Amino acid sequence: MKRLTILRHAKSSWKDRELEDFERPLNARGRKAARLVGLEMTRRGMRFDSVLASPAVRIRETIDGVSEGHELPGPIRFEPRIYEARVSELLELVGTLPDEARSALLVCHNTSAERLVLKLAKDDERGLRKRVEDKFPTAALAAIELPIDRWSEVQPDSGALVELIYPADLED
């Protein structure tokens, strides 16, 4: 059994319209949401053996914010192909995770993040998958348990969505 956790980057800033998309930082709301999600990850006892992430500025800043409330393992593998990856490419990259890693965190962009969750997770009685279908907001996190021994064995519609964190649910 493996667990893949997918984290969408937090809310980015559009203040400087001259910046390339890759260079956009988080806004204040995004920084707060990343910290809240990190604290919730710690509260839930989430642990990761491997982290795979896009190198975009907003992803790096999301990781920094999450790290204020949750200890992530290092080194983080920043993979340029994640930046504009389609779901099939994300699945291919997941297949390259080290097999000794039982739990991995993938930090990526939408719409691929949402589509990957929906591709991997089966319907569930708690309605978590349906909630993702409705919306997978910035800084949302979804953990999927996969019945595999090696990451290269990951298959669509095989996982169970076991954790779902939305920043709006964490605010007072």
Does the structure show a pLDDT above 70 at 169?
yes
Average pLDDT of the residues in 147-171:
96
Distances (CA, A) of 112 to 14, 47, 82, 83, 107: 21, 23, 9, 10, 11
Other CB atoms within 10 A of residue 50 CB: 20
68-105 pLDDT per residue, tens = 999 999 899 999 999 999 999 999 999 999 999 999 99
Give the three-state DSSP class for 73: coil
116 SS3 class = helix
Confidence tier at 123 by pLDDT (50, 70, 90): confident
pLDDT digits (tens, 9 = 90+) for 19-67: 999 999 999 999 999 999 999 999 999 999 999 999 999 999 999 999 9
- CA–CA distance from 141 to each of 18, 137, 150 (Å)? 30, 9, 22
pTM given for the model = 0.96
Residue 74 has which token pair? 């290092």
* pLDDT at 161 exceeding the cut of 90: yes
Q: For the chain, which residues make up each domain, given as ranges? A: 2-12+21-110+136-169
Interhelix angle 57-67/28-43, rounded to 10 degrees, is 50
Are the CB atoms for 12 and 26 separated by under 8 Å? yes
Query: What confidence score (pLDDT) does residue 22 get?
Result: 96
Task: Please provide the CATH number assigned to the domain covering 2-12+21-110+136-169.
Answer: 3.40.50.1240
Cβ atoms of residues 106 and 4 within 8 Å: yes
Residue 172 has a pLDDT of: 60
Amino acid type, 107: V
